[in-house]
Structures are given as C-alpha cells and as structure tokens.
Amino acid sequence: MNPLDSRNTFKNLNQSASVKSQLRSIIVGRILMFGLLLSLIIILFGIVGQMSYEDEVREHAHYCDMVAEGTWPDYDNLYDQCDLAYNNLKELENK
C-alpha cells in the first residue's frame, strides 16, 4: 500500500467526521427552532384564550347591566348569574 493512499484515507475520515459534526449541529439547531416555534404558538394560544375569556366576562356584565335597566329582556336567561359576572369583572379589573 502506498503511504499517500493511507494519508488520503485518513484525510477522508477526518472530512467525514467534520461533515457529521456539521449535520449534527444543523439538526440540533432545527430541533431547537421547532421547539421555540412550538412554545411561541402555545404562548400565543394562551394569550388569545385569556383575551377571549375577558371579553366574555365583560359581555356578560354588559348584558346584566342592560337587563337590569330594562333595556333588554332576559332572552338568554343569564340574569340569575349576574353576581358571578360582576365578581369575575372585579377580579379582571384588579389584575
């Protein structure tokens, strides 16, 4: 066997190890990016869900106000739950 051939083989092994290392870092980077993206999506769903809850509480309190004034009839039969709506609204405003 020619000594140059053995050096070239060793050089090829080093290059393949370098390529494997680069591929590993690319894969790890993509996994981290996917994890961050997934975390961001979950956080956004949480924020949107909280905003939806707050809107619903405010709408219920407004409904109770309108029924109490006699402007609207109690068409949803929710007037019995107005104390709960007002308590939830106070909790939101105290945050």
Q: What is the pLDDT of residue 46?
A: 97
The tens place of each residue's pLDDT in the chain, 95 residues long, gives: 555 455 555 555 566 767 778 888 899 999 999 999 999 999 999 999 999 999 999 999 999 999 999 999 999 898 999 999 999 999 999 87
Question: How far is residue 1 from each of residues 4, 7, 12, measured CA to CA in Å?
Answer: 9, 11, 17
**Domain residue extents for the chain:** 3-94
Q: What is the pLDDT of residue 85?
A: 93
Q: What is the pLDDT of residue 35?
A: 97
Q: Given phi > 0 = left and psi -120 to 50 = alpha, else beta, which region is 5?
A: alpha
